[in-house]
Amino acid sequence: MKTRIILGSSSPYRRELFSRFKLPFEVIAAGIDELRHDDESPEMMVKRLAIEKAEAVMRENQIESGLIIGSDQTADLDGKLLGKPRDHAHAVEQLQACSGRQVTLYTALAVLNTQTGSLQYDVIPYWVEFRSLECATIERYLQAEQPYNCCGSLKVEGMGIALLKKLSGDDPTAIIGLPLIRLSEMLANEGVVIV
């Protein structure tokens, strides 16, 4: 019997990334409060949210047997968290703040086995260094890509890559929102073989 796999996310980017594994899966978005708690580090926040998303999907849909994948991401600019922009003006503000600076993206991953109660989780950091961005560059990018559903207004799988000077980290898919290297290890621990 095949293992039921559920991606607990409404993100089209995570859906596209997971489909690279060529495994059958379902998508069920979790409705949770994503606000940061007081004195919570970026790593702690995304870890908590990834776990809460997986648990909420299990609870709200009464899933008794399956693997639920939760994920969350935030961008940290010198201690200030950059989530998805509220609107165009906020996206401009985010990108102006990132101009010429390094941003750390934290992507959390949780895999919950609803039958055994096993929970695996990790937080994968990725560092991006922005070029110095002129206002006209930011405006052209935002008009072309409209990355309003992207953490920190950065859509690296599109034209956003041209805003960057340098990328560094262990898993390039983490920057898009679902660290496939770590996820493949977690799935293997649950008996799901990718290749």
Q: Write out pLDDT tens, residues 67-116.
A: 999 999 999 999 899 989 999 999 999 999 999 999 999 999 999 999 99
Q: State the DSSP code for 2.
A: P
5-189: CATH number? 3.90.950.10
Which residue in this structure is represented by tokens 């039921």?
4
Q: Is 143 exposed, middle or buried (0-12, 13-18, 19+ CB in 10 A)?
A: exposed
First to last CA, the chain: 18
Residue 34 above 90 pLDDT?
no
Q: Is 170 exposed, middle or buried (0-12, 13-18, 19+ CB in 10 A)?
A: exposed
Q: Write out pLDDT tens, residues 119-164.
A: 999 999 999 999 999 999 999 999 999 999 999 999 998 999 999 9
Residue 6 above 90 pLDDT?
yes
The region that residue 146 occupies, defined by phi over 0 for left and psi between -120 and 50 for alpha, beta otherwise, is: left
Which residue in this structure is represented by tokens 């799988």?
157
43 or 36: which leads in pLDDT = 43
* Cβ-based neighbour number of residue 30 at 10 Å: 23
Element (H, E) at 143: helix 135-145
Q: Please, which residues have CB within 8 angstroms of residue 58's CB and are 6 or more apart in sequence? A: 68, 112, 114
What per-residue confidence (pLDDT) applies to 1? 59
Distances (CA, A) of 149 to 38, 82, 111, 146: 24, 12, 23, 8
User: How far apart are the C-alpha atoms of 161 and 165, rounded to whole Å?
Assistant: 9
What per-residue confidence (pLDDT) applies to 94? 97
Active site residues: 72
